[in-house]
Amino acid sequence: MAKGEKTGGRQKGVPNKATVEFRQAVTRVLEDNSQNYGKWLKQVAEGYGSGANRVKPDPAKALDLVAKLAEYAAPKLNRVEHTGEGGGPVRVMATPVDERL
């Protein structure tokens, strides 16, 4: 076995049990409240309540909430940086097959 190599346990990239359970709980909460999102976002954007309990309109916060919820529907993509040999620029070379395109 090489230095730093691990035996047993979960495979690299597989989330641990607590992470899986948390994601399932969040998914259940989101699914159970799917009919309410539009109403809640409208309340945040336009304000709600009256008198001393009035909550001021905050469209920017509503957009922020939409962005945060979107992460659960479509997780953030990681940035990928392409580098060439030795960390230098990527070299692209045309071949005869490419020239026919």
Residue 95 belongs to some domain of the structure: no
Query: Which pLDDT band, with edges at 50, 70 and 90, does 61 fall under?
Result: very high
What's the number of domains the chain is made of? 1
Confidence of residue 47 (pLDDT cuts 50, 70, 90): very high
Residue 101 has pLDDT above 60, yes or no: no
CA separation for the pair 20, 1 (Å, rounded): 30
Residue 11, classed as helix, strand or coil, is: coil
The answer to whether the pTM exceeds 0.85 is: no
Of the pLDDT bands very low, low, confident and very high (cuts 50, 70, 90), residue 52 is very high
Q: What's the domain range around 55? A: 35-76
* Count of CB atoms situated within 10 Å of the CB of 44: 21
**What's the confidence (pLDDT) of residue 91?**
85
Specify if 53 maps to a domain. yes
In a domain, 48, yes or no: yes
Cβ neighbors of 45 (< 8 A, separation 6 or more) are 57, 58, 59, 61, 62
